[in-house]
Structure 1
C-alpha cells in the first residue's frame, strides 16, 4: 500500500471518528454565517450539528481558531447570537434559540446598547447569493442592519435609505412614483415605459421591472443590502446601477412575540401626520411551522398650498399595507417559505411648488392625484447538504400606478392628463450554491422572467365650448369632464437565463472570481387605443420591429487580495443591459433598442465598520454606457423613451467609520461623479454646441454624508440612543438639453433623533430637516408646462414623537 493511500485512510478515519465533547482539537473556522460555520465544524471534528430553527442559519458568526473542544467552539460561535447549543450525545449537538430572544430576527425587536464583552461578527454579503464575508467581496456594498432603523424611519420607506447611503439617489415625484439610481447610472427623471436601472428585491423576489420604485415600508425588516453595479451576472437585466435587496425578518419557529409602534408628527408650514404598525409572530407547530404578519398605516401631512384653488396642504399622502410569511421546516435541512405583500399608496395631489410664488405655493387649475397598488406572492424552497445549498424562488407581482398631470394651456380650459401603467411580473430562479470557507465557492443557476406592462393614457377637458384647441394632436377635447383616449403601448419581455460564478484561490491570498450570464430575450410590443390620425402601416412596422428575439452574454471578472493584514484590494469588471421595446413619441409608435453598460473599477477596504476602531473604504470606477435608453419628453411634453446616444461616467467614492469611543460612532462618506453624453443621438446633436458633450441627468456631481451614533446604558436599566446626520446633495440637471436642463439639488438635509428604552417600551423623538432648508429636490412639475420655474421642495421641518411596545 502506497504512502498516499495510507494517508487517505488515516484522514477518512479521522473524519469518520467523532470527537468527544471534551476533546481538544485544532479548529479553524472563518467568519461566516452559522449554517456554514457548523458545517465546517462538523467536517473538522466529525460531530453532527443540527438546528431547531432554520432562520438561525443566517446569523453572522465570528472566526473561531485554536485547540478547542466542540463545546467551547460552539460557545464562541454562538456568543451574543441569542442561540445556545444542546448536547444530544457524544457526537450530536442541536442549536436552539435561547430565552429571551436577542437576535435581529427576534419578533420583539427593541434597540439594545452594545455590550463591550460581546464580539462583533463579520458582515456577510448575502446579496452576492453566496455567503461572502465582506473582506472577500470585490465591490462596494452598503449593509444596513435592522437595529439601526427606528419605527419612524421604517415608516419612511425608501426615503430612509436615501438619507443613509451617499451613492443612492432618486427623483422626487412622490411616494411610489420615483426612479432610483445608484452611482450615477441614471437615464432621466421622467417616468416612461423603460426598465429601471436599479434592481429591487424582497429577499430573492424581484420587486420591479418596467416601473418605478414601489416604496415598500421597512417595518420588521432584518437587513438591507445595496450592491453597486452593474450586477449583470447574478441579477441580469435592469441591474445597471446595482441592486437593493430588502430582507424581512423570517418567521421564528420557536417563540411567540410581536411589536406595536405608533407615532404622531407635525410639519412646520403643513398638516399633521401619523403612523401605526403591528407585528406578530405565531408558532403554529413549534419548531416546524410559524406565521409572521406585519401591518401598517402611514399618513404624511401635506405642506403645499394651491393659491388658484384656495386650498392648503394639498399634497397629503396615505399608505397602508402589510406582509405575511409562513415558514415550514420539516427538518433541519429543508425550509419552505410562503410570502405575501400588499401595499396601497394614495397621493391627494402633486408635491411640486413654484419658485416665483411664496415658498411652498403653486397655482394649478386642477388636482393631480395618483395612486399605487402593489401585490406580491412568492414561494421559496431551500435544501441544505453540508456545504451544498439549493435555492428555488418563484413568484408573481401585480403593480398598478395611476398618475395625473395638469394639462391646462394658457387661456384654455382646465384639462387633466392621466396615464395608468399595469405591470405583471412572473419570475422563477433555481440555483445550486457551494459555500466553502472564507468566501470561496461557486454558484450555478437558471431563471425565467416574464414581464408585461400596459401603459394607457387619456386627456380630460373641463371646458364647455363646442370647439377647443387641442393639447395633444389627434386627441379630441370633448369637454364637460369626459375623457378622450390617447395612444398607449404594451411591452412584453420573456427572459430565459443560465448564469454561474466561481471564486477560487490560485495562490494564497489572491481570490479570483469569474462569472457569466447567458440570456435569451423575446420581445414584443403593440399600440393600445391608437388615435385615428395614426398610420396603421407605421404602427404595424414598429410592432414588427419590436417583435424579436435576442441572445446576450454578460461576463464578469474580479481579483481580490487580502495578503496585507486587515486590508482588501480588489479590481472588478462587469456588464449589464436592458432590453428594448415600444414607446409613443409625438403620437407615433416607435421602437427603442437595447442599451449596454460596462464598468471597470478598483478599490480597497481596511477594517470592517462596527468591528474595528477605524474602517475605511474607497473606490474608483469608469463606466462605458452604449446606446443609452432614456425616458424623455416628446414635442408635446408627454413622457416617451428613446436611445439618446453613448455616454461615460467617472466615479470616485469613499467612506470612513470611526468608533471614537465604545458608545460613539462617527460615519462620513463622499461620492463624486463626472457623467457625459459623449456621442449624442442625431435628434440631440443640435443641443450639443461647439462639440461640447452633454451632462447625463439627475445625479449630482458631488454628494456626501456626515453622521453620528451614540448609545449608552443609564440607570434603572434604561438605554439611551442619540443619532444625527447631515447629507449634502450637489447640483444636477433634470434632463438632457436646454428645456430639461434646469438645475436642481445643491442643498443640505439634516436630521436628529433620540430614544429611551426600558424593558419592552421605547419612547422616541425625531426631527427631520432640522434646519428647515428650502432645497430643490426635483425640477419637474407637469410635463405640459416645461417653462414655469417649478421645483420640489424638501419637506419642511418635521417633528415626530413615537412609542414602541414589544411583547
Structure 2
C-alpha cells in the first residue's frame, strides 16, 4: 500500500499528526487546542514551553488508537522504532543502535530509559511491555536525558504516567473487547478501574485490573499446533494518595503483570507465510512486579520530592536448538534439545530532589540518585539420554548427567549520581538552561560455565568494572512571542559499560580472529554521544494549529557493539563510530470544533563514520533497523448527536521505511526489511456513561516485517520473521460511572 504522495502533501500543506507533545486531549467544545502539561523536566510545565523534543500522547488519543502496549504508539512517534518480538522489544530512538540485541546478551545496557511514573524499568530487550489502561499520558523524550534521568537514557526516555487517585469522588470504569484476526484466532480483553475516597479530601485508592486473551496467527506445521503464538496476560495495580495537609502529598503504587506466550511470535520463511516448523514450541513466561512510594513536600521557596522504587522481573523462555545435540552425537539418533533460559532481575532505586516553585524567577532542580540492580541470567541445556548416545559423561565437565551446557551470569550494579539543572532568564525572552550529572558505578559479574560446550572455560569467574563520569547539557531558548519559540542545545548522553563472559578456546579462536580480536576483553567501557539540536515550537491561527520542528546531529564515538560468534558465545567491545543526522516534524490542526487532524514525519540518517570490522560494517553503512523515513497521519471527527450522544470517527495511517538488519547488507547474516504501512479506523458512539466502538487495525492486512534473522541452531535451520499483527476487526464496549 502506497500513500506517500498524499501524506507528504498533507504534511507540507496543513501538516497533520501529533505535535511534540500536543497530543493530550484536545478541547472538544470549541476554540483552540488544549494546553498540555508535562513533567519531563521534573517540574509541571506546558509542553510548548519546554525547549526539548517531546511527543506526549494523552488518554483520549491512546483510546482512539486502541493503544494497549508499546508497539501501538511507537508508529505515531517520529524517531522511535522497535525491533524484536511481541513479548520483548528493543527500543531505538533517533537511530542510536549498533544492531540487534539477543535475549542472552544480558551484559549490554539499554540506550532508552523507560519509566512507570518515576520508577526506572528499562533493561535493554527485557524492558517490561506494560499494558496501558487508565494512563494519564505517555511522554516520549527524544535526545539524551543524561542530566535528569541518567545512564540508559543516552538516546531518550519514555515515561508512562498513571492516573492518580481522586480524593473527592467515587468513579469506576469497565471495558470489554472482542476481536478476530485474519489468518488467526479470536481475542478478548477486559479492563476495570475503581476509584474510592477512603477519607474525603485526605486519602483515596485507585485500583485497576486487566485481562488479555490474545489469539495467535502463526501455525507450527511440525507440531500441528495452529495459532501457536497466542498470549494470555493479566494483572493490575493499586495506587493510593494521601494528603494529610495542604503541603504534603504521598503516593504509593503496586503494579503486577503476568504474561504467558505459547510460542514466540515469529515464523520460518522457508516453511511458508505465517508458518513455522520448529520441533517444539518455544513458550515465554514473564512476571513483573513494581512497587513505588513518593512524597512531595511544598515549602515556601521550593518543593522537595523523595521517590523510592522496587522492581522485580522474572522471565523464562525456551529455545529449540537440536543442532547442538546432533553435533555432539555425530548426527546419530537425533534427540532434539531445548535451552531453558531464565532471567531474574531485581532493582532498588531512590531519588531525593529539590526544585524551585513554578512561579520563581530562577527555575532550578538539584538531586541525588541511588540504584542497586541485580541482573541474573542462566541457561540450561539438558537432553535426556544424550550422554549414552554421544559416548560422553557430562560429569567429567562438572555438569550433571545429560547436561551439555549450563551457565549462570550474575551481574550486580551499584550506581550513585548527583544532578542539577538551572534555567537562567537572561532577558524576558531569552533563557539559558545548564545542567549536569556526575555518576559513579561499580559492577561485578560472577559467571559460571559448565558442560562439554563450555570446555575448557569450566568453573566460576569474577569480573569487575568501575567507572565514573560527568554529563553536561546546555540549552538556549528564545521566545519570539507567547506562541512561538526557538531553541538550540548540546547534550551528552551515556550508557554504562559492563563485563564479558569467558570465551572457550580454541573453539572460538577463528571467530575472534575474523573480527580483529586475538581474545575477548574482560570488560567493555561506557559509551557516550553528543547530541546537537535546533528546534522550534509554534502555535498559529489563535492556537488552532501547532507546528513543532527539531533537527539534530549526533556524534557517537566507540559505541558498545555486540554479536554472537559462530561458536554460540557473545562478545562485547567498544569500536567504530556513527554520525547521525535527522529531523522531526509534528503538527496538529483543529480546523473546526469537531475535527482534529494530526501528522508527523521523521527522517534519520545513521551511518558508520569508519569501518567496523567486528560486525563486518563499512564506512558509510546505515545503522541496522533504522528507516530513513517514518510518517503518520490521523483524522479524529467528533460531533454531537442530539442532547445525549456524540458520534466519532477516527482514521490513521502509519508508514515505516525500509531497513536492513546489519550494517553491511551483503554479509551473510543480514536481511532486508521492506517498508510497510498500517491503516487503522474506529467509529463509535459516546454517551455520558457508556460508549460502543467498532474498530479495524491493519485494514489492508499488510504483514509488515519488524525483524528477520537466520537461526542455524534448531533441528531445521530457518530464516525467522517477526511481523505486525494481521488485519484485526472487533467491538469494544465501555461503561463509566
TM-score, normalised via structure 2 length: 0.87
Instruction: Find the partner of 2:434 among 489, 511, 514.
Output: 514
Aligned to 1:601: 533
**What is the alpha-carbon distance in structure 2 between the residues aligned to residue 173 and residue 469 of structure 1?**
38
- Does the CA contact (< 8 Å) of 1:638 and 1:784 recur in 2? no
1:733 to 2:660 alignment: yes
SS of residue matched to 1:795: coil
> Where in structure 1 are there 5+ consecutive unaligned residues?
1-103, 105-110
- Does the CA contact (< 8 Å) of 2:597 and 2:634 recur in 1? yes
**What is the alpha-carbon distance in structure 2 between the residues aligned to residue 235 and residue 740 of structure 1?**
35
1:500 to 2:420 alignment: yes
1:582 to 2:504 alignment: no
Distance 1:151 1:344, change over 3 A: farther
**What is the alpha-carbon distance in structure 2 between the residues aligned to residue 464 and residue 578 of structure 1?**
42
- Does the CA contact (< 8 Å) of 1:476 and 1:484 recur in 2? no
> Where in structure 2 are there 5+ consecutive unaligned residues?
1-23, 506-519
Aligned to 1:756: 685
Aligned to 1:663: 594
What is the correspondence of 1:222-301 to structure 2 with a 5 Å cutoff? 222-301=136-215
1:159 to 2:159 alignment: no
Aligned to 1:549: 466
1:185 to 2:96 alignment: yes
Distance 1:216 1:466, change over 3 A: same
Aligned to 2:608: 677
- Does the CA contact (< 8 Å) of 1:745 and 1:778 recur in 2? no
What is the correspondence of 1:55-204 to structure 2 with a 5 Å cutoff? 114-116=28-30, 120-150=33-63, 153-154=66-67, 156-175=68-87, 177-191=88-102, 192-193=105-106, 194-204=108-118
The farther-off stretch of 216-225 and 673-682 is 673-682
Count of residue pairs the alignment pairs up = 683
Deviations 1:726-773 (A, max 9, x none): 111112222345233211241111211122111211111111111001
TM-score, normalised via structure 1 length: 0.80
Residue 694 of structure 1: how far off its partner (Å): 3.2
**What is the alpha-carbon distance in structure 1 between the residues aligned to residue 501 and residue 464 of structure 2?**
16
Aligned to 2:730: 800
Instruction: Find the partner of 1:706 among 633, 655, 658.
Output: 633
Distance 1:683 1:777, change over 3 A: closer
- What do you get for the CA RMSD once the two structures are aligned? 2.9
The farther-off stretch of 381-390 and 323-332 is 381-390
Distance 1:408 1:440, change over 3 A: farther
Instruction: Find the partner of 1:790 among 720, 724, 727.
Output: 720
Deviations 1:299-326 (A, max 9, x none): 1100001112222100001111101111
**What is the alpha-carbon distance in structure 2 between the residues aligned to residue 320 and residue 444 of structure 1?**
38
Aligned to 1:629: 560
Distance 1:776 1:754, change over 3 A: same
Instruction: Find the partner of 1:747 among 664, 676, 683.
Output: 676
Distance 1:436 1:469, change over 3 A: farther
Deviations 1:241-280 (A, max 9, x none): 1111111110111111110111111111101111001110
SS of residue matched to 1:695: coil
- Does the CA contact (< 8 Å) of 2:465 and 2:523 recur in 1? no
**What is the alpha-carbon distance in structure 1 between the residues aligned to residue 79 and residue 302 of structure 2?**
34
Deviations 1:317-372 (A, max 9, x none): 11111011111110111011111010011110011113344321121111111111
**What is the alpha-carbon distance in structure 1 between the residues aligned to residue 458 and residue 685 of structure 2?**
69
The farther-off stretch of 760-769 and 416-425 is 416-425
What is the correspondence of 1:326-475 to structure 2 with a 5 Å cutoff? 326-386=240-300, 388-409=302-323, 412-437=334-359, 441-461=363-383, 466-468=388-390
The farther-off stretch of 310-319 and 456-465 is 456-465
**What is the alpha-carbon distance in structure 2 between the residues aligned to residue 763 and residue 370 of structure 1?**
34
Aligned to 1:619: 550
What is the correspondence of 1:32-47 to structure 2 with a 5 Å cutoff? none
**What is the alpha-carbon distance in structure 2 between the residues aligned to residue 608 and residue 324 of structure 1?**
41
